[in-house]
């Protein structure tokens, strides 16, 4: 799964956009890549490549598009669930089941309306493609939800990622409620690990403590908008801080990453927040940014074409519409 800010381009453009970095100015003119505009989109949020190299693209207003990079054709997938399109909410991520080639199952994350406002949800459905460049979802089933809803339409996150063990990982935002990120009776502000049917993964660190606790892999997250694996099988996450304090975290089982108890930023009204250094029991970020870069997604490049970029973290900025590149830790 990859994530877009403004338009769909072919895969190499997503990777090589990260070559402009503050600490090292690289000459990209001789690099063996090209960027090709494929189609126009409205508020694209995420993409997933199908086995035939066509691309599923989510648009935040609630459309799921099927794009063919070769012909530049753009079709529509019907049967998408209704979304709460407001603030930062709408249709969010899309991911393929690890056995998609056999079962045609895909996953969508999105904001849904309900009592109290809106919250994040994840659904699975079977995708049937048609001969006209579109398709339809059937058998849609919600397999996970935020444990509460809130007004304001902020900080849903809900990135989706599958692991080598077949587990489904969800980066759950705290929907601007702050304190639930530290509550073990809430799945807000957490990294979640589930089986592909939405049940809690056996062996999760809090599996014996209750139904919601059994979902939780790590806690203390604010708006975790990017997750990806490195070549060693380690899970990395980027999240938006408040006023300053965007973070890059190495995710560990059972670890607490501090929000809202600690942060390298401050509240929007200017109130200070204790730094991570004041709480040695809380996992500090591997990197943080003041002022913010507003990371919108995370890709760890593991290919061989761009040796300089191998095992670097690339996170896209909503604020600057650029990519930031960090060396692998």
pLDDT at residue 57 tops 80: yes
Give the pLDDT mean for 280-301.
94
Given a cut of 80, is residue 5 above it in pLDDT?
no
Q: For residue 27, what pLDDT is reported?
A: 60
DSSP assignment of 277-328 equals GG-TTSPPPSEEESS---EEEEEE---SS-GGGTT-EEEEETTTS-EEEE--
Higher per-residue confidence, 309 vs 261: 261
Q: Does domain 8-326 have CATH number 2.60.40.10?
A: no
Q: What is the pLDDT of residues 136-188, one digit of tens each?
A: 999 999 999 999 999 999 999 999 999 999 999 999 999 999 999 999 999 99
Dihedral over alpha carbons 130, 134, 136, 141 (to 10 degrees): 130
State the pLDDT at residue 34. Answer: 74
Taking 50 as the threshold, does the pLDDT of residue 281 lie above it? yes
Q: Are 175 and 168 in contact (CB under 8 A)?
A: no
CB neighbour burial string for 265-283, b if at least 16 within 10 angstroms, e if fewer: bbeeeeeebeebeeeeebb
Q: What percent of the chain shows pLDDT beyond 70?
A: 83
CA pair distance 111, 90, nearest whole angstrom: 5
The encoded tokens of residue 282 equal 């809380």
Residue 304 has a pLDDT of 78
CA distance 239 to 224: 4
Residues comprising the chain, all counted? 329
Mean pLDDT of the chain: 89
Q: How confident is the model at residue 14 (pLDDT cuts 50, 70, 90)?
A: very low
Per-residue pLDDT of 97-107, as tens digits, reads 999 999 999 99
Domain boundaries, the chain: 8-326
Q: Could you report the per-residue pLDDT of 204-217, keeping only the tens digit for each?
A: 999 999 999 999 99
- With 90 as the cut, is the pLDDT of residue 39 above it? yes
Q: Which residues contact 280 (CB under 8 A, 6 or more apart)?
A: none
Per-residue pLDDT at 329 exceeds 60: no
Structure confidence by residue, pLDDT tens digits, 80-90: 999 999 999 99
Say which residue the tokens 């990982």 belong to: 169
**In the numeric block, which tokens belong to residue 202?**
């056996």
Looking at residue 303, its pLDDT comes to: 80
Phi-psi map region of 222: left, alpha, beta (phi>0 left; psi -120 to 50 alpha): alpha
Over residues 251-270, the mean pLDDT reads: 98
pLDDT at site 17 = 31
Torsion sign (Cα): 46, 95, 324, 252 = positive
């Amino acid at each position: 799964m990859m994530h877009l800010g403004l338009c769909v381009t072919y895969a190499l453009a997503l990777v090589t956009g990260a070559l402009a970095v503050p600490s090292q100015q690289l000459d990209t003119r001789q690099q063996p890549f090209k960027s090709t505009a494929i189609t126009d989109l409205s508020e694209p949020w995420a993409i997933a490549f199908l086995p035939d190299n066509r691309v599923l693209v989510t648009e935040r207003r609630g459309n799921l598009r099927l794009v063919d990079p070769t012909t530049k054709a753009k079709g529509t997938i019907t049967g998408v669930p209704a979304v709460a399109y407001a603030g930062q909410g709408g249709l969010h991520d899309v991911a393929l089941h690890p056995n998609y080639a056999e079962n045609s199952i895909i996953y969508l994350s999105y904001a849904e309306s309900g009592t109290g406002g809106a919250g994040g949800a994840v659904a699975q459905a079977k995708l049937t493609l048609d001969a006209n460049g579109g398709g339809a979802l059937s058998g849609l089933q919600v397999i996970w939800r935020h444990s509460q809803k809130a007004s304001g339409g902020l900080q849903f996150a809900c990135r989706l990622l599958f692991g080598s063990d077949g587990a489904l990982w969800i980066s759950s935002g705290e929907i601007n409620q702050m304190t639930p990120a530290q509550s073990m009776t809430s799945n807000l502000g957490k990294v979640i690990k589930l089986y592909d049917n939405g049940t809690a993964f056996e062996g999760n660190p809090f599996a014996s403590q209750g139904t919601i606790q059994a979902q939780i892999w790590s806690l203390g997250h604010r708006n975790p908008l990017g997750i990806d694996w490195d070549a060693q099988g380690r899970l990395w996450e980027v999240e938006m801080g408040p006023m300053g304090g965007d973070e890059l975290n190495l995710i560990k089982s059972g670890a607490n990453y501090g929000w809202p108890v600690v942060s390298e930023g401050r509240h929007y009204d200017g109130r200070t927040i204790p730094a991570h250094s004041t709480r040695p029991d809380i996992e500090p970020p591997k990197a943080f940014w003041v002022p913010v870069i507003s990371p919108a997604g995370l890709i760890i490049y593991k290919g061989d074409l761009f040796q300089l970029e191998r095992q670097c973290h690339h996170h896209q900025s909503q604020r600057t519409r650029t990519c930031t590149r960090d060396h692998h830790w």
